[in-house]
Chains A and B, each alone.
Chain A
């Protein structure tokens, strides 16, 4: 399976999805007007990946900020891993935020409290 790389812009995140390593990384900012269209290739990649996922999948979030429609899209992507986790594979979300960044901490806590997969909040 091919990796997916989407270069970041001032409005959209840098995304690197590596199938062989089971590593999905999102960084930068995510404020596209149409988050459904922007995240569609990511959703499709994840659906393909989950047909035969790695034993361990790590989702790394290093976002600066994002709009609410991106948070909805990201949540839908992360939720796809819940059944993989239930089936016995290891899945971990690592949510990085800066020490003083209460907003990204709060957002991380929101996601952690909704998702049914292991979720780490990491201060940088």
Chain B
């Protein structure tokens, strides 16, 4: 897995349009979004692709912000983020520390959601939108579903063990261009 991190860093899997390492504070998240939006305005002519990238980015970044904890906030390099441009798609990579018990819940959710057909995925989304409640962190429980819907299910995730309590969660999402 470390070799994968090096590949990101060296830009071996695409043109690095944006990269960030640090803490996922609210100011940083919005700065990242604004900078990427400016870059996309220059680099991506298709407004549909631009918008889809932004929609997915917002969900990924705000999910990380909503689920941050002290470990994430006070460790330097606790969050990595890349946006790669490639021939036929964009690759969004995010990585953050996550408590092991939360990680297994997240992996289960991802596995269940990505196995759904488009129709069942929409039904799940509508059911959560219509009947779900806000989490104490202010999330609507829809972020993962939205990321899967907008990427057409083109995503991969990996867990890297860190210590007894935490692992590092890596998410790769592809948006067709």
Query: Which positions in A face B, CB cutoff 8 Å?
Result: 10-11, 31, 33-36, 64-65, 67-69, 71-72, 75, 100-103, 106, 110, 113-114
**Is B55 within 8 A of A72, CB to CB?**
no
Name the residue in A11, A69, A106, A114 with the highest tally of chain B Cβ atoms < 10 Å from its Cβ.
Answer: A69
Contact of B47 among A33, A69, A72, A100 (CB under 8 A): A100
A110 CA / B145 CA spacing, docked (Å): 13
A81→B132 CA distance, assembly (Å): 19
Contact residue among B47, B52, B138, B140 (Cβ-Cβ distance under 8 Å from A71): B140
CB < 8 Å: which of B58, B132, B134 contacts A67? B58
| Complex: A103 Cα to B139 Cα, angstroms | 20
Query: With A65-B54, A75-B129 given, is the CB distance from A33 to B26 under 8 Å?
Result: yes
B112: min CB distance to chain A, Å: 18
- Considering only residues 114-137 of chain B, those with a C-beta below 8 Å from chain A are 122, 125-126, 129-130, 132, 134
CB of B142 within 8 A of CB of A68, answer yes
CA distance A34 to B146 in the complex (A): 18
Q: Is the CB of A69 within 8 A of B150?
A: no
Q: Are A69 and B134 in contact (CB under 8 A)?
A: yes
A-B contact pairs, 16 of them (CB 8 A): A11-B30, A33-B26, A64-B51, A67-B59, A69-B62, A69-B140, A71-B129, A71-B142, A72-B129, A72-B132, A100-B47, A100-B48, A101-B51, A103-B150, A110-B122, A110-B129
List B residues at the A interface (Cβ < 8 Å).
26, 29-30, 33-34, 47-48, 51-52, 54-55, 58-59, 62, 65-66, 122, 125-126, 129-130, 132, 134, 138-140, 142-143, 145-146, 149-150
Across the interface, which residues of B come within 8 angstroms of A69, CB to CB?
Answer: 62, 134, 138-140, 142
Q: Is the pair B59, A34 in contact by a Cβ cutoff of 8 Å? A: no
| Interface contact tally, CB-CB below 8 A | 68
CA A68 to CA B122, docked complex, whole Å: 14
Query: Are B65 and A65 closer than 8 Å at their CB atoms?
Result: no
Q: Considering the chains assembled together, what is the distance between the CA atoms of A85 and B142 in angstroms? A: 28
* B residues in contact with A35, CB < 8 Å: 138, 140
Chain B nearest CB, measured from A114 CB (Å): 5
Q: Of A10, A101, A110, which one neighbours B48 at CB under 8 angstroms?
A: A101
> What is the interface of chain B mostly: helix, strand, loop, or mixed?
helix
Is the pair B51, A65 in contact by a Cβ cutoff of 8 Å? yes
* CB nearest to A64 among chain B residues: B51
A71 vs B58: C-alpha distance in the bound complex, in angstroms? 13
Chain B residues, Cβ within 8 Å of A33:
26, 29, 62, 65-66, 138
Question: Nearest 7 A-B pairs (CB), nearest first?
Answer: A68-B142, A72-B140, A114-B130, A69-B140, A67-B58, A68-B140, A68-B146
Residues of A within 8 A of B66 (CB): 33
